């Protein structure tokens, strides 16, 4: 094992064992290096690596802290990775989303509040009858984000949020190039909202699947 990897594992072990908790400040560099049997250089490299994936927060002039370790913080690193997707992997992201988001939508049908339902209704109403594709994509993403958040699972919400980037481009092009897309999108959004309003998990799951599968099928057919 490389020296830096060993240092990373030792700091990770301190966090997973509870010796360091979310929000804790790490001991001084010299003290921590001595306690872990590491050189100060290897410790610094480990800290840099763990800071890149949001496990540690290096505050200049203050010290190094364990982050909150909340899912949305840790999964920001996935956002960065996703930004480097290739065009031929967008379909794979959609396939993953088709697995996860219908389940989240079904969960939301059981937990969503009347206020959240009203908010979704207002969001759809704000689109009007003929929004431009960019606006449609923006509101579409917000519609799905709110539903997933209302499911009450922060890990699931963070995972799906991290995958929204590569799908944005596909949605925009779908809205621009495929006739009838806006009308179908409106209808599918309303059907999902109706299922949520009725607190019908299986209908919500089915409509979410139909909605995402439509994008996936179109993208798969593009040369």
Give 169's pLDDT tier (boundaries 50, 70, 90).
low
Same domain as 91, residue 173: yes
Domain tally, the chain: 2
Same domain, 141 and 202: yes
- The answer to whether residue 222 scores a pLDDT higher than 70 is no
**Residue 94 confidence class, pLDDT cut points 50, 70, 90:** confident
Q: Residues 6 or more apart from 113 whose CB is under 8 A from it?
A: 150
Instruction: Please indicate, yes or no, whether residues 57 and 88 belong to a single structural domain of this protein.
Output: no
Can you give the residue range of the structural domain that contains 12?
Answer: 3-69
Most confident range (mean pLDDT) of 74-78, 147-151, 152-156 is: 147-151
What is the arithmetic mean of pLDDT over 191-200? 97
Q: What is the CATH number of the domain that holds 142?
A: 1.20.120.530
Same domain, 58 and 88: no
Same structural domain, 123 and 203: yes
What is the reported pLDDT for 137? 84
Cα distances (Å, whole numbers) of residue 126 to 26, 37, 114, 148, 176: 48, 60, 18, 20, 20
CA 122 to CA 137: how far, in whole Å? 16
Tell me: do 173 and 115 sit in the same domain: yes
Q: How do residues 105-116 score in pLDDT, each as one tens digit?
A: 999 999 999 999
Residues 6+ apart with CB under 8 A from 82: 93, 162, 163, 165, 166
pLDDT of residue 15: 93
User: Of the residues 15, 47, 69, which one is the last residue of a structural domain?
Assistant: 69
CATH number for the domain including 58?
1.10.10.10
Query: Are residues 209 and 146 part of one domain?
Result: yes
- Looking at every residue in the chain, the average pLDDT score rounds to 86
Residues 105 and 213 in one domain: yes
**What DSSP element (H or E) covers 59?**
strand 56-59
Looking at the fold, whether 65 and 142 belong to one and the same domain comes out as: no
pLDDT of residue 122: 96
pLDDT tens digit sequence for 67-87? 988 877 777 766 666 656 555
Report field, pTM of the whole predicted structure over 0.75: no
| Res. 37: pLDDT tops 70 | yes
Using the 8-state DSSP alphabet, how is residue 25 labeled? B
Same domain, 80 and 169: yes
Block residue for tokens 């989303």: 97
Residues 108 and 48 in one domain: no
């Amino acid at each position: 094992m490389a020296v830096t990897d060993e240092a990373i594992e030792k700091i990770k072990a301190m966090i997973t064992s509870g010796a360091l908790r979310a929000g804790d400040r790490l001991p001084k560099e010299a003290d921590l290096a001595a306690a872990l049997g590491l050189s100060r250089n290897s410790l610094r490299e480990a800290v840099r690596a763990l800071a890149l994936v949001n496990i540690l927060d290096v505050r200049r002039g203050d010290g190094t802290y364990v982050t909150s370790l909340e899912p949305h913080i840790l999964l920001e690193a996935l956002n960065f990775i996703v930004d480097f997707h290739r065009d031929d992997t967008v379909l794979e992201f959609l396939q993953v989303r088709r697995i996860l988001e219908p389940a989240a939508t079904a969960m939301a049908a059981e937990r969503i509040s009347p206020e959240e339902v009203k908010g979704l209704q207002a969001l759809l109403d704000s689109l009007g009858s003929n929004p431009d594709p960019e606006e449609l994509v923006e509101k579409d993403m917000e519609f799905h984000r709110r539903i997933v958040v209302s499911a009450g699972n922060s890990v699931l919400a963070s995972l799906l949020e991290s995958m929204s980037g590569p799908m944005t481009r596909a949605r925009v092009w779908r809205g621009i190039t495929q006739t009838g897309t806006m009308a179908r999108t409106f209808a599918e959004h309303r059907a999902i909202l109706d299922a949520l309003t009725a607190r019908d998990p299986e209908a919500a799951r089915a409509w979410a699947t139909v909605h995402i599968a439509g994008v996936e099928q179109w993208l798969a057919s593009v040369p």
